[in-house]
Copies of this chain bind each other. A is one copy, B any other.
Amino acid sequence: MSLNQLGIVKRTIVRADAAAVGRLSRLGVATIHEAMGRVGLMKPYMRPVYPGAYVCGTAVTVLLHPGDNWMLHVVVEQLREGDVIVAACSADSDDGFFGELLATSFRARGGLGLVIDGGVRDVKELTAMKFPVFSRAINAKGTVKSTLGSVNIPVVCAGALVTPGDVIVADDDGVVVVPAAVAAQAAEASEAREANEVEKRTKLAAGELGLDMYKMREALEKAGLKYVD
């Protein structure tokens, strides 16, 4: 292991199984996060650039420096059909690292969307293109191209560890990372969870109480809950 992990582009990564990605792409972030035991979620400051944005694909990672988007140009060449770019930054930065031209380039090379712990711009154009972007900020401020970062190393993005090839799912509720090795398990657990919710929804809509449906009354009483008038 070398001391310095910067200035590296890893060309070969192992992407999560395509079938598992396909199954996860029919599910929501909250469901997957629950099914995984409530881990892998990015911080809630990550928000979609337009309402209804959704993306599910395999992570190609990039580590940026504040105010410098050079590596976003480097990462494009490493994209394959179905990838989601995950951009971390070596320090908190709201600069506008990304806009319409890069989105055009990402899409032309198979990129499905972007998750970036930084700012983006060209909101109007990104919305018109329906290119899903999840970011910490919106900012017209541009960046320079002068310092090396890395591509396809493990990164911490918005508080979550992302290893290249992991599955990224993002919707209006946030962004979740599914490690490639458990993608099929996560899909299965999520599908089970979702199937289970259909019945619950029907009962609750009919006025049944969660107190009864989940059999909580005994536990609440044991914990000391008191009803008073």
Contacts and interface: CB of A to CB of B under 8 A. Distances in A.
A211 B121 contact: no
Given A94-B92, A172-B124, A5 B142 contact: no
B67 A7 contact: no
A223 B149 CA distance: 11
A85 to B, nearest CB: 13
A19 interface: no
Contacts of A228: 8-11
A220 B68 CA distance: 13
A139 to B, nearest CB: 4
A226 to B, nearest CB: 6
B171 A1 contact: no
Interface in A98-157: 99-102, 104-105, 107-109, 119, 121-124, 127, 137-142, 144-148, 154, 156
Contacts of A30: 96, 99, 121-122, 140, 142
In this complex, which of A50, A172, A205 has the most chain B Cβ atoms within 10 angstroms of its Cβ? A172
Interface of A: 1-12, 28-30, 33-39, 41, 43-44, 47, 50-52, 65-68, 70, 73-74, 76-77, 90-96, 99-102, 104-105, 107-109, 119, 121-124, 127, 137-142, 144-148, 154, 156, 159-161, 171-174, 176, 179, 181-182, 185-186, 189, 197, 200-201, 204-207, 209-211, 214, 216, 220, 223-229
7 contacts: A1-B179, A7-B226, A44-B119, A74-B211, A108-B205, A138-B172, A146-B146
